[in-house]
Amino acid sequence: MEDVKATVKQEISEVRARIAGLLLEIDDIILQVNPRIEAEYATKIGYLENDLLKWQLAARRARRRYALAQARANSGMTFETDEFEDQLDNELEEWENLLARNVKSFLEAAERYAGSRPMSSAESRELKHLHRELIKRLHPDLHPGQPGEATRFFRVAQAAYENGDLDVLRSVAVATEGMGEEDTFASLTEDEASIELELVLAHERVIAQQLEELKQTNPYALKEKLEDGDWVIRRTSELRGQIEAQKAAAHAYDERFAELAGGHLDGR
């Protein structure tokens, strides 16, 4: 009986170790890999996408202003060159807000990229090692019902890992030494241990699915594309072509409006 129980306990320990590895990979993607991908995408592609959105907005605004002026002219009514601006602001508010959000996201990603301090190979290895140990020691999924202090230490460790703060991770590792080492299976019966094994196996499947879904979504899904120089060249070329087309459309409608208004439209 004890041998069976010992075997089940060993299996539980092995599954928990695999869960720790999955959680570590998830955290690494969320806290380290994805922010780097976002920053790289912003500096390689995102700035052009924002410029395209800006000129799409300009073209849409120019086209709508011309349509409003044309309708007024068709009715034999006069108009001032700037009298449609408030209406256009209201109609295009959603587009303006989208552009503002995109620009804000680009700036945040670019600032993270510009402000990041390169780590040495030794520092990077130590950062990952400490994070791995603290995952095993403090992660709530591995230690359900842990005291509030352990949860707070875990949050501090996560923030430190995200920011690459090796000193804080070192201090958390020292402060939490001995946590998470208790034998939670000692008092389990053989049946209880078997049930616990089924539970941790189910938990492993859930975490594995979460990891797979994370890898299939942006920004992680963009990783391979950004590493493909040919794709980056094609995408930037495509975006520049679209930008020029939108610029041309905006200028064309501005010129039509200027002609309709008697040439009083200020040049763009």
Q: Which two tokens stand for residue 123?
A: 């520092």
d(CA 166, CA 195): 39
- pLDDT of residue 268 exceeding 60, the answer is no
238-265 per-position pLDDT tens digit? 999 999 999 999 999 999 999 888 744 4
Give the pair of three-digit tokens for residue 146.
């842990």
Q: What are the structure tokens assigned to 82, written together?
A: 């700037």
Q: How confident is the model at residue 8 (pLDDT cuts 50, 70, 90)?
A: confident
pLDDT at position 267: 40
138-166 mean pLDDT: 86
Angle at 49 between CA 48 and CA 51, to 5 degrees: 60
Q: Please state, in angstroms and rounded to a whole number, the distance separating the CA atoms of residues 246 and 242.
A: 6
| Burial of 76 (C-beta count, 10 Å sphere; 0-12/13-18/19+) | exposed
pLDDT digit string, tens, across residues 176-214 = 887 776 656 666 677 777 888 899 899 999 999 999 999
Structure tokens at 218: 């942006």
Q: Looking at the whole model, is its pTM more than 0.85? A: no
Question: Is 117 in a helix, a strand, or coil?
Answer: coil
Average pLDDT on 55-66 reads: 95
Rounded distance, CA 48 to CA 239, Å? 6
Q: Return the structure tokens found at 101.
A: 């959000």
What is the spatial distance between Cα 133 and Cα 120, in angstroms, rounded to a whole number? 20
